[in-house]
Chains A and B, each alone.
Chain A
Amino acid sequence: MDINWAMIAPLFVIQGLLLIFALLDWAKAEDYRGSKWMWLFIIIFISMVGPVLYFLFGRKR
């Protein structure tokens, strides 16, 4: 069985979108819970979960 990459591509596209939106928001945000640069590492290096953690806990209202 061959892996059909066209089938899996959307998975990477959505992950990429999550990453991009998290980074855009991170760049614009003013108040962070914890350090700003720590969140950058979390967003980039923990795939999938990182951006979600940032959106949930990273910003102050």
Chain B
Amino acid sequence: MQWMTLLKKELIENWRNRKFIWVPLVFILLAIMEPLSTYYMPEILDAVGGLPEGTVLDMPELPPGDVLMLSLAQFSSLGVLLIVLLSMGTIAGERKSGVAELILVKPVSYTNYITAKWLALFILVFIAFLLGLAGGFYYTTILFGELPMSAFFYTLLFYSLWLAFVVTISIFYNTIFNSPGLVAFASIATIILMSVITQVFGHVLDWSPNQISAYLSQMMVEETVSKDLIATGLTTAGMTIILLVLSVIMFKRKELAN
């Protein structure tokens, strides 16, 4: 099947340029540094020095759920930045270098081309996130106390939806702009703008994708999946699908115009 061939090409490419190795490694680092640095904060401050003799540091005891959310916060900032940077050229770069033309000269459907790109990118991001979250979860339970396994799986499920959305935003701008730099800028700007809008109109936008972290944090405390979390997850999935369809349409238009 054509679609499988395209997907395979993407996966092999991600393997050859080592993305399948370094992206998961970085995600694991991001996730396990939080519980470790939080746990050893007194030692770190001690080693750095500068505190007057006899200072007593009273670090608050963090519940394990909060520590896992710290790791997640790393994914929300640096992780998202990384995803945008590594995907900024996935279509835009191929167009610039002429590879896209080579592929699209053949009777390749635009839908197949975009969705294969999208899935390949999401598989990479998902594997990195899965390993990172597992690392963060492992350290959190060892250093700060037990967390129910369900917390792991729900975080995996719902946060993956948010990451899929981020991937889709990048793919969408990839279909519009030819310059990877512009794709990265537009993606980051969109995500920041969405988070600002969600903060300002938070009372109306209960189910904005940006709220997923907040509801996950609430889930850690209450140990139940709230209706809001499910609704936010569904909204995010819906927006992802709409954006993906829009990407195909934009791409078709742009290619036919050329």
Contact = CB atoms under 8 A, between A and B. Distances in A.
A7 B29 contact: no
Nearest to B88: A56
B98 to A, nearest CB: 11
How many of chain B's residues touch chain A, expressed as a range?
A: 20 to 34
A46 interface: no
Given A1-B43, A10-B32, A17-B25, A56 B85 contact: yes
B25 A18 contact: yes
Nearest to B82: A52
Contacts of A14: 25, 28-29, 32
A8 B47 CA distance: 16
A55 interface: yes
B22 A52 contact: yes
A40 B97 CA distance: 26
How many of chain A's residues touch chain B, expressed as a range?
A: 20 to 34
A11 interface: yes
B89 interface: yes
A21 B25 CA distance: 11
29 contacts: A1-B43, A3-B40, A7-B139, A7-B142, A7-B143, A8-B36, A8-B40, A10-B32, A10-B135, A11-B29, A14-B28, A15-B29, A17-B21, A18-B22, A18-B25, A18-B29, A21-B21, A21-B25, A22-B22, A25-B18, A48-B29, A51-B22, A52-B26, A55-B18, A55-B22, A56-B86, A59-B17, A61-B97, A61-B99
- Nearest 8 pairs between A and B by C-beta? A55-B22, A18-B25, A56-B85, A14-B29, A21-B21, A14-B25, A25-B18, A14-B28
Interface of B: 17-19, 21-22, 25-26, 28-29, 32-33, 36, 40, 42-43, 82, 85-86, 89, 93, 97, 99, 135, 139, 142-143
Given A25-B18, A55-B18, A61-B93, 15 more contacts: A1-B42, A1-B43, A7-B139, A8-B36, A11-B29, A11-B36, A14-B25, A15-B29, A18-B29, A21-B18, A21-B25, A48-B29, A51-B22, A56-B85, A61-B89
